[in-house]
Amino acid sequence: MSKGKRVVIIGAGPTGLVTALGLARKGAQVTVIDREDDILRWPRAMVYLPSTLKVLDEIGLLERAKEVGAYGYEFNLRFPLTGNIGRLSYKDLEGLTPYAYNLHFGQDILAEIVLKEFIALPGTEICWKTSFDSIEQSNDCVQVSVHTTNGPRIIEADWVVGADGARSSVRKDLGVDFEGFTWEDTFMATNVYYDFDKYGYAPSTMVAGAENWAVIAKINDQGYWRVAYGEDSSLSEQERVARIPERYKSLLPDPNAPCEMVMANSYRVHQRSATTYRVGRVMLAGDAAHATNPIGGMGFTSGVQDADTLIKCLGGVITGELSEDALDWYSYERRRCFLEIANPTAIEFKRRTQERDPQKRLQDEANMFALMADKDMCRQALFSTFSLTGRGYRPDWRETYLVDDQAGKGSQGPGHGGINIQK
């Protein structure tokens, strides 16, 4: 590998792979390692919001994504108390952005698309069945110790990106705290063949059903959908899976219609952020840097934006266009975006979906319909995911952005950005 351009990315999820492709295209020599033996196929993120489509466009993958993805032009919020349905249409953004829609397809398909492009570039390497062990840093390089099927190996690099999920071994090895809390409830994600189109469900649908809340989203145009809902944390995984048919009776519009559940998995969800996203020559990104409940897609969307900012900032350092100060900016700005935007947004989505107080549920419904009556406010709501993009790097950010943020003129400053991440 060329000195100064060697990058090791730990974790072959969407954040890690998009970062890898973007940096490789800037001339970096990139090695991706992952402890799995192939791309994971279990139920994961699959809704690509407009701000994510913009990133895919910038790295040249949008046309391919359009070929495999199902289009979504509407978001629905269903209110079982009254039977009413709140609707927001992305078509209201036509003429204002080229990304006036969502795309729906599994992140495993995105991984296939990215890997095909990545491994075709010079100096790239993907190492499956390779688990991270530890990092040793010096002033001019990083040594990454890993375990492979052939035994231990040390990979020398100039930069490392830890994108190895919420349980990140990289973050733990660096000694970086993961502040926040874990929700008491458990999420169950199921993939199912069911004709939700027949019953008028939008490709992106939330059901504000208290104990019978659900997030229902189209995966493709062949009748394949995701149904996610809450489960009892005291049950075993086997017991949760056994309860799926019974839970479907209260979640499907017609439980007697043909239905084929293909896969399912449950998981605990968190609202957490690392205290810093940079330690020397190591950057944290995606769930390794921050974790949130998935309602509203803030985690996946934030991770792709982390990748985009890393491509620009670390890529600029590698090409010599930017100083290493850009990496401090990456850490500051991406943390701010999570704490000030993604984290509270995801918490509010979760509250609205799972709210039990009937009066608050009716007020949420009234607020939704008031929003629908104001075209400008609808557009602002649909445009809001672009705020996760953050601000572009400028060398004087400490004297401009940071000063404004601390004074409350921009964001709410460093640290927690004025937002209490504790529950």
Instruction: For 217-255, write each residue's pLDDT tens digit.
Output: 999 999 999 999 999 999 999 999 999 999 999 999 999
What is the 8-class DSSP label of residue 321? S
Q: What would the pLDDT profile of 359-384 be if each residue is shown by its tens digit?
A: 999 999 999 999 999 999 999 999 99
Q: Is the pLDDT of residue 421 over 90?
A: no
Q: What is the dihedral of CA 379, 384, 389, 394, to 10 degrees?
A: 80
Return all residues near 8 (Cβ < 8 A) that are at least 6 apart.
Answer: 30, 31, 32, 33, 142, 144, 155, 157, 159, 160, 161
d(CA 374, CA 377): 5
Domain ranges of the chain: 6-179+271-406
Site of tokens 């069945």: 129
Q: Averaged over 380-406, what is the pLDDT? A: 95
Q: How far is CA 303 from the centre of its chain?
A: 4
Asked if 274 contacts 288 with a C-beta cutoff of 8 angstroms, the reply is yes
Task: Count the Cβ atoms, other than its own, within 10 Å of residue 369.
Answer: 13
Q: What would the pLDDT profile of 131-148 be if each residue is shown by its tens digit?
A: 999 999 999 999 999 999
> pTM (2 decimals)?
0.93
What is the 8-class DSSP label of residue 277? S
CA-angle at 366, arms to 295 and 189, nearest 5°: 20
Q: What would the pLDDT profile of 9-57 be if each residue is shown by its tens digit?
A: 999 999 999 999 999 999 999 999 999 999 988 778 899 999 999 999 9
| Per-residue pLDDT, 1 | 41
As its CATH architecture, domain 6-179+271-406 has: 3-Layer(bba) Sandwich (3.50)
Structure tokens at 385: 């995911």
| Per-residue pLDDT, 4 | 80
Q: Is the pLDDT of residue 410 over 90?
A: no
| Per-residue pLDDT, 3 | 66
Q: Is the pLDDT of residue 397 over 60?
A: yes
| Per-residue pLDDT, 45 | 84
Amino acid (one-letter) located at 237? E
